[in-house]
């Protein structure tokens, strides 16, 4: 079953762009405007900053266009794959997701929530140390895993 789940999500995994920016007033607004000007919708965002630099983690509805925009504008970035799980509005789903991953000894590197809610439900982005294990365990526990198609417009 794990290979079926991994196979199903293989080509359609949710991609995160981590953009490295200088920490100065207005820089985040410039990035958001760039995406908006090209009709790319940011569906999840997380910002980590330090005194001199910041990392903006984004999930967008059009990864291909985003990749091209970032390259065209010489914006330093890296990509990674996320596991995205749909949650109901109750906190018991969050507890269940975390418990399932703990039981499988799957480490969470970071997590953040989506701005938009696919199908009216909350969604949680997870960067984990073993995507195949996380995908399998969460599917077995009955959670709906979202793909890029689920979050694209």
Number of domains comprising the chain: 2
DSSP 8-state class, residue 123: E
In the prediction, which pLDDT does 11 show? 55
Distance CA 90, CA 109 (A): 23
| Stated length of the chain | 153
Give 4's pLDDT tier (boundaries 50, 70, 90).
Answer: very low
Residue 51 reports pLDDT greater than 90: no
Burial class (CB in 10 A: 0-12, 13-18, 19+), 94: middle
Residue 64 reports pLDDT greater than 70: yes
**Given phi > 0 = left and psi -120 to 50 = alpha, else beta, which region is 77?**
beta
54 with 99, same domain: the answer is no
102 with 147, same domain: the answer is yes
Angle value at C-alpha 140, between 120 and 106, nearest 5 degrees: 95
Q: Measuring CA to CA, how many Å separate 22 from each of 12, 68, 83?
A: 31, 21, 28
Its pTM stands at: 0.86
Range of the domain at 51: 15-80
The model's pLDDT over 67-77, given as tens digits with 9 standing for 90+, comes to: 999 999 999 99
Give 119's pLDDT tier (boundaries 50, 70, 90).
Answer: confident
19 with 9, same domain: the answer is no
DSSP 8-state class, residue 103: H
34 with 66, same domain: the answer is yes
Residue 148 reports pLDDT greater than 60: yes
65 with 93, same domain: the answer is no
Distance CA 56, CA 54 (A): 6
The model's pLDDT over 71-115, given as tens digits with 9 standing for 90+, comes to: 999 999 999 999 999 998 667 899 999 999 999 999 999 999 998
Which CATH number is 87's domain given? 3.30.70.260
Cβ(14)–Cβ(148) below 8 Å: yes
């Amino acid at each position: 079953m794990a290979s079926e789940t991994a196979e199903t999500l293989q080509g359609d995994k949710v991609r995160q762009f981590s953009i490295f920016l200088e920490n100065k007033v207005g820089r985040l607004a410039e990035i958001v405007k760039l995406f908006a000007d090209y009709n790319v919708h940011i569906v999840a965002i997380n910002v980590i900053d330090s005194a001199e630099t910041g990392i903006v983690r984004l999930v967008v509805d059009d990864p291909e266009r985003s990749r091209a925009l970032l390259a065209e504008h010489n914006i330093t970035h890296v990509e990674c794959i996320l596991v995205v799980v749909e949650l109901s509005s109750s906190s018991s789903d969050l507890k269940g997701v975390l418990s399932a991953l703990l039981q499988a000894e799957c480490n969470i590197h970071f997590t953040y929530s989506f701005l938009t809610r696919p199908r009216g439900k909350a969604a949680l982005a997870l960067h984990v140390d073993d995507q195949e294990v996380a995908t399998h365990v969460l599917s077995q526990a009955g959670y709906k895993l979202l793909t890029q198609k689920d979050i694209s417009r």
